[in-house]
């Protein structure tokens, strides 16, 4: 079964437009369904440009006022790192699937261990399914327990105590308003979380209360978003970094905005002053643009997108994320397969016998789609085994061909949409070159994401398409934003506090 060829330019025929070519002889009914899906899921370059224009409008609205569709949250991170930051820090990352605790040692300009500029010792704890719909007290108790376990297991209690506390950085990857860097009020849960008693509250205070309750030797220095962390961590090693992007369970970006562009902040705000009383020139903005186009003005929604939104914990919110982020790509794929099954086009005998888990929501994740596209085993044995192991279904040759093509359609659409937010930021700030440090499973594990993303960015910004590695704006793999980036920001904040104390 030959692999598909991705053309350089758009063409008038539907298959070439969507980068799909026929890989096998299919029944006329299935061929017709694939043509329909291709037309529904394909996003042309002109449509991408239309999306980006609306994106720019919503970015401006978020910079002008609070409580806008894209919140454009200020972070109180006023600069990128110098690369000289040093120290040992504890960081925690409350993500969509796991809680990660890290001990990070920054060496600054001093290098050791094969020229690594930092060392990291970490543990990852998977969230129980019940956590996502529990109460605030249970969430923060769980987090504090894991912090305590880490401190004990790593022997940190011997180094730190009530008089000498270990600096703690908190990566909280959800939309939050910040009046200062060690404070963050959750605006809304995303990524499938719906925990009562947290929205509208300061997550830093809630965590501090549990830390104090357990008498843990920790001092919470900063609360950051993973996008800001990715940008800062990457800039620590790569000064060409311009944007931090997350293309994983959710989607988001952060960048350094000029203070003059942030109209919702007064230039006389004392929080913007340095120790000499001068207004700082820049501020890191956490866009939280997964909420782009919640009003459904420009995004090309399919019936599958509408169904996902209606059945989500927060209907009408995070619309852009629901079309492009890793949490949802596998579910789009599953809904399409359910529809084809209901129409008697695939899994006919197996469905009659009630076999499989195809009708279980979110039983397919983005890794499932990546494996389908990346399978190089003979007769696609890995893909067949995956369908059997995950869904309990046997795959016929004709069905395999359909699944490969559908997986590709969904992944291409997701990658092309992900380029829109970055393009809008570049146009807003007049950025013409640099590196977009991308973190997340979709960006770094899907075999073709970066190529497709780069191609879409070329079409939007008018590059000469010399190749994703030679374009003026290049996507790179982000360094550890939630661990290392969080530690670097804590180091920067502590240094800033020392300078103020010296005034």
Q: Which residues are catalytic?
A: 173, 188, 226
C-beta of residue 108 within 8 angstroms of C-beta of residue 84: yes
Q: Which residues of 129-163 are buried (b: 16+ CB within 10 A; e: fewer)?
A: eeebebebeebbebbbebbbebbeebebeeebeee
Element spanning 104, H or E:
strand 98-107
Task: Enumerate the β-bridge partners of residue 107.
Answer: 86
Residues 70, 74, 78, 80: is their CA dihedral positive or negative? negative
Of 452, 453, 438, the C-alpha closest to 248 is: 438
CA gap 68, 459 in Å, rounded: 29
The SS3 assignment for 419 reads: helix
Q: Find the helix or strand (DSSP H, E) in which 86 lies.
A: strand 86-94
Write down the number of H helices and E strands in the chain: 16, 13
H or E stretch at 117: none
CA 180 remoteness from chain centre: 23
Residues 177 and 185 sit within 8 Å (Cβ to Cβ) = yes
Strand, helix or coil at 407?
helix
Which residue carries 């890191």 as its tokens? 284
Helix axes 326-342 and 397-429, enclosed angle (nearest 10): 140
User: Three-state SS for 188?
Assistant: coil
Task: For 344-367, give the DSSP string.
Answer: TSSSHHHHHTT-SSTTSTT-S-HH
C-alpha separations of 501 from 5, 57, 496, 497, 498 in Å: 61, 41, 9, 6, 5
377 alpha carbon, distance to own chain's centre: 30
Cβ atoms 218, 101 nearer than 8 A: no
| Sign of the four-CA dihedral 274, 278, 279, 282 | negative
The phi and psi torsions of 425 (rounded to 5 degrees) equal: -65, -45
**What is the rounded distance in angstroms from the CA atom of residue 331 to the CA atom of residue 325?**
11
How many residues are listed for the chain in this entry?
Answer: 503
* Residue the block writes with tokens 């492009």: 324
CA distances from 2 to 28, 111, 333, 376, 404 (A): 20, 48, 22, 11, 11
């Amino acid at each position: 079964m030959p692999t598909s060829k991705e053309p350089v330019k758009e063409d008038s025929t539907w298959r070439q437009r969507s980068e799909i070519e026929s890989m096998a002889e299919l029944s006329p009914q299935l061929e017709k369904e694939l043509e329909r899906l291709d037309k529904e899921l394909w996003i042309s370059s002109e449509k991408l440009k239309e999306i980006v224009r609306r994106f720019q409008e919503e970015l401006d609205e978020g910079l002008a006022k609070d409580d806008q569709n894209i919140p454009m949250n200020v972070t109180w991170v006023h600069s990128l790192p110098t690369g000289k930051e040093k120290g040992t820090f504890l960081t925690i990352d409350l993500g969509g699937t796991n809680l990660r605790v890290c001990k990070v040692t920054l060496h600054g300009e001093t290098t050791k261990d094969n020229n690594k500029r930092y060392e990291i010792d970490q543990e990852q704890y998977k969230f129980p399914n019940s956590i996502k719909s529990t109460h605030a007290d249970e969430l923060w108790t769980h987090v504090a327990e894991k912090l305590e376990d880490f401190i004990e297991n790593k022997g940190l209690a011997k180094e730190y105590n009530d008089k000498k506390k270990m600096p703690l950085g908190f990566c909280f990857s959800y939309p939050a308003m910040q009046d200062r860097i060690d404070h963050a009020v959750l605006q809304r849960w995303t990524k499938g979380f719906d925990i009562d008693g947290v929205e509208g509250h300061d997550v830093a205070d809630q965590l501090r209360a549990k830390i104090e309750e357990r008498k843990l030797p920790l001092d919470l220095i900063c609360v950051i978003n993973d996008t800001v962390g990715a940008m800062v961590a990457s800039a620590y090693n790569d000064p060409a970094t311009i944007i931090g992007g997350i293309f994983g369970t959710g989607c988001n970006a952060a960048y350094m905005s000029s203070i003059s562009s942030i109209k919702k902040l007064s230039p006389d705000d004392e929080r913007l002053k340095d120790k000499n009383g001068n207004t700082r020139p820049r501020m890191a903005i956490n866009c939280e643009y997964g909420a782009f186009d919640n009003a459904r003005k420009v995004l090309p929604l399919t019936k599958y997108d509408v169904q996902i939104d209606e059945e989500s914990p927060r209907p009408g919110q995070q619309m852009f994320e629901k079309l492009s982020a890793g949490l949802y790509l596998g579910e789009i794929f599953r809904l399409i397969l359910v529809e084809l099954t209901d129409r008697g086009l695939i899994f006919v005998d197996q469905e009659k016998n009630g076999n499989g888990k195809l009708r279980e929501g979110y039983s397919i994740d983005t890794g499932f789609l990546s494996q389908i596209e990346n399978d190089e085993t003979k007769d696609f044995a890995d893909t067949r085994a995956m369908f059997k192991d995950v869904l309990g279904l046997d795959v016929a040759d004709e069905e395999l061909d359909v699944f490969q093509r559908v997986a590709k359609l969904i992944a291409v659409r997701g990658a092309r949409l992900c380029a829109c937010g970055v393009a809008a930021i570049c146009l807003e700030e007049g950025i013409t070159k640099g590196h977009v440090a991308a973190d997340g499973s979709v960006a770094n594990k899907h075999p073709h994401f970066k190529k497709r993303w780069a191609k879409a960015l070329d079409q939007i910004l008018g590059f000469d398409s010399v190749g994703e590695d030679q374009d003026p704006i290049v996507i790179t793999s982000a360094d550890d934003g939630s661990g290392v980036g969080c530690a670097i920001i804590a180091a920067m904040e502590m240094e800033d506090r020392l300078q103020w104390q010296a005034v």
